[in-house]
Chain A
Amino acid sequence: MTRAATRTSGPFLAVLIGLAVGIATLTATAAAKAPDPAQTSVGGQPLTSIPTGKGLPVVVRTGLFVNNIHSFDDNQGIFEATTDLRLTWFDTRLRYPAEQGLHGYKEYRASAAEEELAKMWTPRIRHLNRDGEPSFTERRLRLFPNGLVEVIARTTAIYKVTVDTTKFPFDHQSLPIEIMVQEDTIETVDMDFTSDDVAFSRVAKSVEVGGWTPGLVNLDRSLVKGWNGDRYAKVIVSTEVQRVAADAISTIFIPLFASLLIPFLATWMNKAEDGEFEVEAFELGNVIIGGLFAVIALSFTISSSYPALMSGDNTVTRLLALNYVALAFGTIITVVFYRYRLPAAWFGPHVQEQAFRFLTWAFPVLFIATGVAFVMVAAA
């Protein structure tokens, strides 16, 4: 019976032994050769698991090249850009003999890159300030013989930006792209950059942004706090842009300074002669009220066209406030001097006359100087 069984199972056993030898040979070959990225595991550890060959945390280096800034809307606080985000890290499981790389590395593009990336570990990256999904994404993968993995993702997307208008129209804005690692805390995956990444991170020379002059790209490390003391690595890539101030002068500052002249009419249009005024308070009061409507209209126009400028403390809101204060001062002059003649009643007609003469030049000088100072402070 035993013989019979042996006879029957002989060929089966031979196949089994052959298979075992085959597997053993394959394993030995795999151990001898560098793993192919197409493989899904090395030494029982799947390639999609975190690479610990260089210890933890896995340091993901970040660089970002700005291909184009399609638009920057400072009123809505968004910008659209096409960027090349370069992430590099070491996965020693992916080392291979240098002669296998055609140009010193293996390269996979677009769908081929996606196929390869699906088989290996990649950091889970989240763009914190991205508004919606990107309109275009394409990835390229390069594997270097020493286990260096380089992924470049070209993305066209809209990003949110907090606009600081304090120094308008001489302001610089940072257009940030905030990239963080999600799920893996900083003890497992860290983000970093070196001078090589900073050199990679720049704006293409051909980039033009309407009303803005692009500057340098800066990289900054940060942390995102999670639950129970967890911290996640974050890198902020900021593209500096400087506003072209000349554009704002004609559209915003000329109307603001022109409207500032209206309250001065309260003194310029009148004349004092022997303690008496030539023009009645009523007529000059109308001028002030007209000025008030003009400033309100200007304020509405600015807030609808440039909403970012109407929030917070900046040159425009200061100049609008100065306009209102000037109108209030004009109203006070009209009421106190022309209607009730209080200076004459309290100090005599000569004092009133001299005070009026003083106000005809001091009132405009003080308010125009203050307005200019607001602009100069923004420029400083």
Chain B
Amino acid sequence: MKFRTSSSAVMIGSVIAVITMVSFVSYLISHRMTGEFEEKQFRLMGQIMQSKLHGAEGKAIAAAEMLAATPAVRKAFAAHNRTELLAATQDAYRIQHEKYGISQAQFHLAPAVSFLRVHNPNTFGDDLSKARQMVIEVNRSNAIRKGIEITSSGIGIFGTMPVADEAGKPIGSFEVGMDVAPLLDEIKKAYGFEVGFFVDEKILRDTATHIKPDIFSDQNRVGSFVKFNATHPDLLKALVSDGNINVTEQTHYLQEVNGVPYGVLLQPVYNYAKKPIGVMAMAANFTETRSADGQAVVWQILLALVSGILQIGVILVMVRGKILRPLEVLNERVAALAEGAEGRALPEALCGEMRVLAKSCERLAARASTGDDKGDTP
């Protein structure tokens, strides 16, 4: 193998290898940073959802305590006087409903028999023990309980509390339920996330018997779930499909809609009895991070190409122009000297070392020719 090809190939190969490696590592670092940022964003989305749900539970129990604290309410409930109880609570409930997103208020008798639905006074007396573990628990333990529940009227975030008469004897329980929709709207307003709540259709059909039937339309159906609430129905329909909604633990993925990348977080939602009842989906626009990641790849490839070509250029120009081509010239001269030709003026292109070598070769040739004249000496 000639030095001309082997030396260039080795040097160019090593340059390409080093630049490729450096660029790849650099890409991995920037890609990892983008990934970590997106992971943090997903974690934040999950924390926000949890925090808002806890906040709503707190609001529900606060409203319940306030409504049930009045002596008139306790007295009417203790006397099992439904009419008086409704009269004592309906105005306060109406204001809370209209202004603060409270959608349900209900008194129960132990263990879980509906005594009065303030939001629907004509329906009462039904046994809730099958679907309302939380109510049973409150009446059994005589302590406050909070959580998401599906009721015959729909889904709510409930705060349920025990109610005692003036003597402190337990008489039943009272709960206030908040709508999920205002909570989702609040998250959207505050953080810009799109949020959707998908509920298991079978559980919803079995339990929420008084819910509007249009919720079970084909348009709302995603696999075995129905879209119960969504801050942007069209977008969430495109982002959450039946292929990815069946989750048992928090998961996330990226999905493009109309060329816009979205990060989607799916959180399974459990009721008070720890039974999965649905999935909460949160979506954030990831255009900036995805675009930054894509741009980093392009710029890194371009930088690698530019630096590689420039270094290859330096190798080619210097090795070929400064070493190989002068060597060819020198080779021709030495070959000519070996053939017995006379020494010629050295070309300007030769560098100092080459010139010294050429002169040494000429002296050697001259000496050899002189030696030839004198004959060999022992």
- Give me the interface of A with B, judged by CB distance under 8 Å: 54-55, 167, 170, 172, 192-195, 198-199, 202, 213, 215-216, 218, 221, 240, 242, 275, 347-355, 357-358, 362, 365-366, 369-370, 373, 376-377, 379-380
B325→A377 contact, CB < 8 A: no
- For the complex, give the distance between the alpha carbons of A61 and B321 in Å: 77
Expressed in whole angstroms, the Cα–Cα distance for A297 and B133 within the complex equals: 78
Considering the chains assembled together, what is the distance between the CA atoms of A27 and B182 in angstroms?
39
Given A376-B298, A377-B298, are A195 and B258 neighbors across the interface (CB < 8 Å)? no
Q: State A192–B101 Cα separation when bound (angstroms).
A: 15
Bound together, the chains give a CA A196 to CA B305 distance in angstroms of 52
- 25 examples of A-B residue contacts, CB within 8 angstroms: A167-B291, A172-B258, A195-B185, A195-B231, A198-B231, A198-B232, A213-B258, A216-B232, A216-B234, A216-B258, A240-B260, A348-B322, A350-B322, A351-B317, A351-B322, A352-B321, A353-B325, A354-B317, A354-B320, A358-B317, A373-B298, A377-B298, A379-B294, A380-B291, A380-B294
CA distance A380 to B356 in the complex (A): 57
- Contact in complex: B325, A350 (CB < 8 Å): yes
Bound-state CA distance A290–B245 (Å) is 61
Q: Which of A242, A353, A362, A369 contacts B258 (CB 8 A)?
A: A242
CA distance A347 to B309 in the complex (A): 20
**Chain B minimum-CB-distance residue to A370:** B302
Please give the distance in Å from B296's CB to the nearest CB on chain A. 9
Q: Are A221 and B189 in contact (CB under 8 A)?
A: yes
CB distance from B139 to the nearest CB of A (A): 35
- How far, in angstroms, from A370 to B309 measured CA to CA in the complex? 13
Q: How far is the CA of A212 from the CA of B297 in the complex (A)?
A: 28
Most chain B CB inside 10 Å of its own CB: which residue of A172, A349, A358: A358
A218 to B297, CA, bound (A): 31
Contact residues, B239-257 vs A (CB, 8 A): 257
* Chain A to chain B: the 7 pairs with minimum beta-carbon distance, closest first: A380-B294, A351-B321, A354-B321, A350-B325, A215-B258, A348-B349, A373-B302
User: Does B321 contact A194, Cβ atoms closer than 8 Å?
Assistant: no
Choose one: B182, B257, B298; the contact of A380 (CB below 8 Å): B298
Residues of B within 8 A of A216 (CB): 232, 234-235, 257-258
Enumerate chain B interface residues (CB-CB to A < 8 A).
98-99, 181-182, 184-185, 189, 229-235, 257-260, 290-291, 293-295, 297-299, 301-302, 305-306, 309-310, 312-313, 316-318, 320-322, 325-326, 348-349, 351
**B313 in complex: contacting residue of A218, A358, A376, A379, CB < 8 Å:** A358
Is the pair B309, A362 in contact by a Cβ cutoff of 8 Å? yes
| Distance between Cα atoms of A380 and B232 in the complex (Å) | 26
Complex Cα distance A172/B326, Å?
A: 58
| Neighbouring A residues of B320 by C-beta, 8 Å | 350, 354
With A240-B260, A242-B258 as contacts: A349 and B349 at CB distance below 8 Å: yes
**Residues in B neighbouring A349, C-beta threshold 8 A:** 349
* B258 and A348 within 8 A (CB): no
Q: By CB atoms of chain A within 10 A, which of B182, B234, B326 has the most?
A: B234
B325 contacts which chain A residues (CB < 8 A)? 350, 353-354
Candidates B230, B301, B309, B349; contact of A365 at CB < 8 Å: B309
Residues of the A chain whose Cβ atoms lie less than 8 Å from the Cβ of B185? 193-195
A221 partner residues in chain B, CB cutoff 8 A = 189
Find B184's partner among A193, A195, A347 (CB 8 Å cutoff). Answer: A195
Instruction: Evaluate contact between B295 and A380: CB separation under 8 angstroms.
Output: yes
Return chain B residues, CB-CB under 8 Å to A54: 98-99
Distance in angstroms between the alpha carbons of A198 and B231 in the assembled complex: 7
Q: Among A199, A370, A373, which residue has the most Cβ atoms of chain B within 10 A?
A: A373
- CA A55 – CA B234 in complex, angstroms? 33
Q: Which residues of B contact A199 (CB under 8 A)?
A: 230, 233-234
User: Residue A218 contacts which of B184, B232, B312, B326 (CB distance < 8 angstroms)?
Assistant: B232
**Which chain A positions have C-beta within 8 A of B312?**
362
The residue on A at minimum CB distance from B232 is: A198
Q: Looking at B185, B232, B316, B321, which has the most chain A CB atoms within 10 Å of its CB?
A: B321
| Alpha-carbon gap, A351 to B348, bound state (A) | 12
